[in-house]
Amino acid sequence: MKLLVLGSSGGAPTKKRNCTSFVIKEESYGIMLDCAEGTQRQLLLAGYKVSKIRYIFISHLHFDHIAGLVPMLSTKSMFGIEGKVTILGPKGIKKFIEVNLDFVKSKFLFETEIIEIEDGLETSFEEFKVSTHLLKHRLESFGFRIMFNDKLGNIIKNKLESFGLKEGPVCGQLRKGEEVETKSGEKITLKDVASESTKGKIFAYVGDTYLSKGIYKTADNADFMLIESTFQKEHTERAEARTHLTSYMAGNVADRSNVQKLMLYHFSASYTDMNKFITEAAEKFDGEIYLADDFMEVKI
């Protein structure tokens, strides 16, 4: 499972950075986090197919986080790309999509599900569950805490054969959690013939915000946290006034929340020394720190 950076700039794009969008790449599907203007072109340049995107999580309704949503999905529809898309976003996201489509007399020719979120909402899907936590921004903004299911162990052929069983339909039954009876009448489950399962990762996505309780609810014990870091420490007062974080604050959140890996994004275009974002976060956090850069991929 990897995180693909499609846009890392804050507020407006630059020559080197598009505005906010990321994709969590699983083997058979993708979770998009925000969708700024130009995101579908970023997908083309990254070589990632829109057909793989099954979930889209929108942190808030500022244009640098949502302006690319309807155009991207309209392209999916125009080319007849099938596959249901589930969208989670703040109250108003459904109306935003409907108004845009109505204005151009269009509609999506694939199934969509739109869930308007609130503080503390927990939603379960086949591969993971996600909780949403209210942050502190100039308009309603949310953090997403994504808790992936444990990954089942691999069936070991020799163990299977030791019970007089062969690979085939039996493996499917075991993976579904069913018991299988051997010829001798013994009942076995997946754990009897497979390697140990792998604990599911916790991924925290913190959208635009100033310091708030919601950040810590989102970040708690996360394996990987993606957190906005608009300003450097010298502009702490500006960060509070604009309801954004500094890199130092982001590092402190990661340290207090027992995060394993940290990625900073949403940088103000006013800075030229980008390494300072990392050094300031590292004053508080001694784990792995990444500076988001468009088209980079990082293992979660």
Active site amino acids: 64
Residue 130: which residues within 8 A CB-CB, separation 6 or more? 57, 88, 122, 123, 144, 145, 146, 147
Beta strands in 73-223 (DSSP E): 85-89, 112-116, 122-124, 128-134, 142-148, 180-181, 187-188, 202-206
Residue 267: which residues within 8 A CB-CB, separation 6 or more? 8, 9, 10, 17, 229, 230, 274, 277
From 294, 235, 296, select the one nearest 266 (Cα to Cα). 294
CA dist 209 to 3, 86, 239, Å?
21, 24, 9
**Can you read off the two tokens belonging to residue 153?**
């162990």
